[in-house]
Each structure stands twice: as C-alpha cells, then as structure tokens.
Amino acid sequence: MTELDLYKYISENGTMTSYDGHKAIIWIYHCELDDFVKLLGKSVLQDGGIEVRLQDTYVAIDMTNICEQCDIDLKNVFGDEH
C-alpha cells in the first residue's frame, strides 16, 4: 500500500477518519472490507494480522502503526481530515 493508494481510497469512498496529530483511525463499513484488505496487501496482514474494533456497521482500525510499516506519512493522508 502506498500513501497515494490510501489517500485515494479514503477520498473516493468517503471513508470516515480521525487524526489528532499522532494517531489515525479509519472506519471501514463491513461491505467495504474486501476492498480494504486488498488495499492493505499481504505484507501488512501477515504475522497475525491487525487488531480492529468491530462495531455495528463498520470496523474501526488504528492506522498509525500500519502507516509507519508502509512508510506513509500520516499528515499527508489524514492531516487535513479533521
């Protein structure tokens, strides 16, 4: 996953995000999980996967460590969101 890929995914899908300058959270609707998993790629999901918070209609994912692993600058993707 690249910075541009993630930015486009969020923009094109109207994905809800939150960023406080240090931590980035993304909310993915259940029906969008397959596409999001493809975006993340196998390298992010190997070694036990990632922790998520399963909620009624969506999954909340802390993207902070994932972006760090992929060399993605949080400010470039989430900085102007909130």
SS3 state at 39: helix
> What would the mean pLDDT of 29-49 be, rounded to a whole number?
90
First and final C-alpha spacing in the chain? 23
How much is the pLDDT for 82?
A: 41
Report how many domains make up the chain.
1
* Element housing 28 (H / E): strand 24-29
Task: Give the tens place of pLDDT for each residue, 42-73.
Answer: 888 887 888 999 999 999 999 999 999 999 99
Would you say the pTM of this structure is higher than 0.75? yes
> What would the mean pLDDT of 70-82 be, rounded to a whole number?
83
Determine the Cα–Cα distance for residues 27 and 11; give it in Å rounded to an integer: 13
Q: Could you tell me if 64 and 74 are in contact, meaning their C-beta atoms sit under 8 angstroms apart?
A: yes
Residue numbers of the domain that contains 15: 3-78
Say whether pLDDT at 80 is over 80: no
Determine the Cα–Cα distance for residues 47 and 16; give it in Å rounded to an integer: 27
